[in-house]
Structure 1
Amino acid sequence: MEIAQGHQAVMPYLMVENARKFTEFCQKVFNAQLTFSRLREDNITVMHSEIQISGCTIMFCDATDQWKVETSNLFIYVEDANETFQKAIEAGAAIVSEIANQDYGRSGGVKDPFGNVWWITSILKK
C-alpha cells in the first residue's frame, strides 16, 4: 500500500466554521505547521487544508451548505499538558474537563472555538 508523503493511513477530516482561524488556533496551541491549503473559486472559502502536529496530519475545510460542520474529539500527546492546556484556554477554548493526573498521564479536555474537543495529555514523569 502506498500513502502520500506526509500522510498517515488514518487522518481526521474536520469541517469547521472559519478554517483560517482554526489553523491559527492550532498553530498557537499545538505549534501546528500548515502544510497545504487550497481555496475555492471565491478565493475566500477554504476547500482543503492540512496541518501537521508532531508528524500527524489533520485535514479540514470550511463548512458549506453541502458540507455541514463535522467536529471531533481528538486525543493529543504533548510535552507539557499544563502549558498546552493553558495556551488552549488563552486561545479561546472552553474547559470540558479540568487538567488532572490520570492513570495514563496528566490530562484535561477543552472544546476549541470550532466545536472540537481536544484531550490534552502528557506522560507523568517518574
Structure 2
Amino acid sequence: MGTVTPYLCAKETAAALDFYATAFGAVETSRWTDPSTGSIGHAEFTVEGARVMIADEWPDGGVYAPDPGRTSVSLVLEVDDVDGFFSRAIAAGATVDRPVTDSPHGRGGWLYDPFGHRWHITAPDDTVTKDDLQRAVGDEYEIS
C-alpha cells in the first residue's frame, strides 16, 4: 500500500512551523530557506508519525495558501488523545470547525489552523464494522 504525503502552502511558513510544533507537537526535519529573501522554499515535519511538507507561497509556480475558511482539502490526523490534542491546538491559535464528539466510527473534531488548513483530529474505533455503521446512519446513507 502506498502513502500520500500532504504538501501544504502558507503565507508565513516559519510561523506555521512554530504553530505546528506548539499545537501538534510536530518535529521539524528539514528547512530550505532562500538566503536573499528569507522565503522558505521547502520544509518538512512529522506529527504523530505522519510526514508533512510545507512551503511559502510561490505565485510564479501557481502555489498559493488557502483562503481562511475556504479549502478544498482536509487533513485527517489519527491521534491517541483527541481531546488533549484538540485542546492544545485551540490554545495555540487554531479555531474550532466542529467540536470533538463521539460518532459511530470513533471520536474526533475538526479545526482550522491559523494558516487556513482544515484538520480532522480523530481516534477511530477500529472495531466498528460496516454493519455497525449502517445501523448507526439508518437510511440516510447506503454504506458499501
Q: TM-score, normalised by structure 2?
A: 0.74
- CA distance in structure 1 between the partners assigned to 2:121 and 2:3 by the alignment: 22
Residues 68-112 of structure 1, C-alpha deviation per residue, up to 9 Å, x if partnerless?
Answer: 225641100111101111111111111110110011211000001
Residues 48-74 of structure 1, C-alpha deviation per residue, up to 9 Å, x if partnerless?
Answer: 000011332111101133232256411
Match of 1:93 in 2: 94
Matched, 1:108 2:109: yes
Q: What code does the residue aligned with 1:58 have?
A: V
Residues 25-64 of structure 1, C-alpha deviation per residue, up to 9 Å, x if partnerless?
Answer: 1111221110100012425110100001133211110113
Structure 1: which 5+ runs fail to align?
A: 1-7
Q: What code does the residue aligned with 2:12 have?
A: N
- Structural RMSD (CA): 1.9
- CA distance in structure 2 between the partners assigned to 1:123 and 1:65 by the alignment: 38
Residue-pair matches, total: 118
Pick the structure with more helix per residue: 2
Matched, 1:29 2:56: no
Q: Which has the larger radius of gyration?
A: 2
Match of 1:42 in 2: 36
- CA distance in structure 2 between the partners assigned to 1:27 and 1:44 by the alignment: 20
- CA distance in structure 1 between the partners assigned to 2:87 and 2:16 by the alignment: 17
- CA distance in structure 2 between the partners assigned to 1:97 and 1:34 by the alignment: 28
Match of 2:12 in 1: 18
Change (3 A) 1:58 1:83: same
Match of 2:83 in 1: 82
- CA distance in structure 2 between the partners assigned to 1:47 and 1:21 by the alignment: 14
- CA distance in structure 2 between the partners assigned to 1:94 and 1:85 by the alignment: 10
Q: Which moved more, 1:40-49 or 1:88-97?
A: 40-49
Structure 2: which 5+ runs fail to align?
A: 128-144
Q: Which moved more, 1:58-67 or 1:81-90?
A: 58-67
Q: What code does the residue aligned with 2:48 have?
A: S
Matched, 1:59 2:48: no
